[in-house]
Structure 1
Amino acid sequence: TALPIWELKFTALAAGTLPIATEHVKHNVEYQKKRGVMQGPAEELSPALTTKIRDMVKRCCRILELDGYARIDLRLDAEGTPYFIEANPNPEIASTEELAQSALFDGIEYPDLLNRILQLGLQRAGKEIVYVERPSLRPHRRAAMVATDMSAARE
C-alpha cells in the first residue's frame, strides 16, 4: 500500500541556502519556523506525475527487496522529473513524523499504523496475530496484540 505523497517545503530559505533536509530542517523546531520549513501532502502534482511517482516508488521497493514499511525519498527537478535520492527501510515512526502524518492524512490513525507495522513483522516471522480487546478510553480500538508461534501449535 502506498501512502499519499508527502512533501517537504522550504518557504523562507536565506539566499544561497539549498533546500536540503539537514539535521536542523528535520529536528529543530525554531529553525523550521524561521526558515518556513513545512511538510504536508504534495498538492501541485498532476495525475500523470502522481502515477509516475507511485510507480517509481513501487519499482524501487521491488528492486531493493523492501517489505514491511519503508520511505522512498525523491526530488523533482525544475521540469518535474522525479529522481531517486534514497530508500529508508526504517523511517521514523513517531506520530509527528512524515510516515505517521501521511498515514493520518490517508485516514490511518497512529495506533492503527503501529498495529499494521507490527502485523507485517509478525506475519513475516510466521506468527499468528490475535487481537485481544481490552476496556479502554476508546473501546472501539484494538488495545493489545498477542503473537503465537504457529509451528508449535501444529506439533
Structure 2
Amino acid sequence: MPTSYQSPMRQDQQGQNTKSQSVELYDHNATVADLLDGKGRDVFSIKPEDTLKDAVVELRDRRVGALIVTDDSGALVGILSERDIVRKLADSPGQTLPQSVGSVMTKKVKVCGPSDLAIDVLKRMTEGRFRHLPVIENDQLIGMVTIGDAIHHRLTQLEHEALQMKQLIVG
C-alpha cells in the first residue's frame, strides 16, 4: 500500500538551515585602510604661508574639496576646506584671496587611523558636519578620506550584496 504524502513538520527541519539562510553579507568590519585601498593614498597639501588664491587654484586643479596644511617638516598643522574659504569670503569680501592659508585654516583637525571602522568614521563626519578626515599612522599622514569615499565604499558593498542575493535566488 502506498504511503500518503505528509508535509514536513517544523521539528523535522530543526538544525537543518542551509548556509544561504544564515549568510551575513554586510562587512561590518570595513576599515579606513579599506577605503584608502579603494581610492589611493594621495594627499594634497599646502603651506600656512601660502595665499588663499594659491589654495583656490590648487583645489580647482586637483578637483578636491580640502587641502591638508603642513609645515616645512611635513607635519599636519591644519586643514583648509572650501567651506573655510566661503566663510572668509563672507566675512571679508574682496579682501580674501591675498590672506594666508594659516589665518583661515581649521587648526584643531580631527583625524582617524587606518584601523578605524569605516562606519564609525562616517558617523563622526556626519555628526561633526565635516567631509574630510586626514588619516594618521605612527604620527605620519598616510591619506585622507572623505564622506564621499565612505558612501562610495558602502554603495559598492550594497551592489555586491544585491548580486549575491540574486545569485542565491537564481541558483
TM-score (norm 1): 0.30
Structure exhibiting the larger radius of gyration computed from Cα positions: 2
Decide which structure has greater helix share: 2
Q: Which has the higher strand share?
A: 1
